[in-house]
Amino acid sequence: GEDVEQSLFLSVREGDSSVINCTYTDSSSTYLYWYKQEPGAGLQLLTYIFSNMDMKQDQRLTVLLNKKDKHLSLRIADTQTGDSAIYFCAEKMGANNLFFGTGTRLTVIP
């Protein structure tokens, strides 16, 4: 399968910005997603971006897509302790499936 790579850990101080990075290998992906997983729970969709966009902003979240480098990032402004979770990027594969990255565990230090 395709490799979707993420750093495993990120720590930031409360109030700072967090940037979570992801690289993918399938240049034909049409949708790219960010999911959040809180402890003991399933994944919830945070945001997504179409492959013909460079940037999408949604309140404190900014998604940047660099198709040339196959790089996707999620920036969380004014990071709060409630943002501590595992964040997964995912790319749409074929008609039905998503391929998930390894996940980045974000720890927010008060």
Q: Which residues bind other proteins (CB under 8 A)?
A: 1, 4, 6, 8, 31, 33, 35, 40-45, 48, 88, 92, 95-103
Please say which residue, 41 or 110, places its beta carbon nearer to other proteins.
41
Nearest CA to 23 out of 76, 97, 101 is that of 101
Closest approach of other proteins to the CB of residue 95, in Å: 8
Closest approach of other proteins to the CB of residue 48, in Å: 7
Closest approach of other proteins to the CB of residue 13, in Å: 25
Please say which residue, 44 or 57, places its beta carbon nearer to other proteins.
44
Residue 51 CB: number of other CB atoms within 10 A? 14
Sheet holding 18-23, edge to edge: 5-6, 18-23, 71-76, 61-66, 55-58
Residues 6 or more apart from 19 whose CB is under 8 A from it? 73, 74, 75, 76
Closest approach of other proteins to the CB of residue 110, in Å: 25
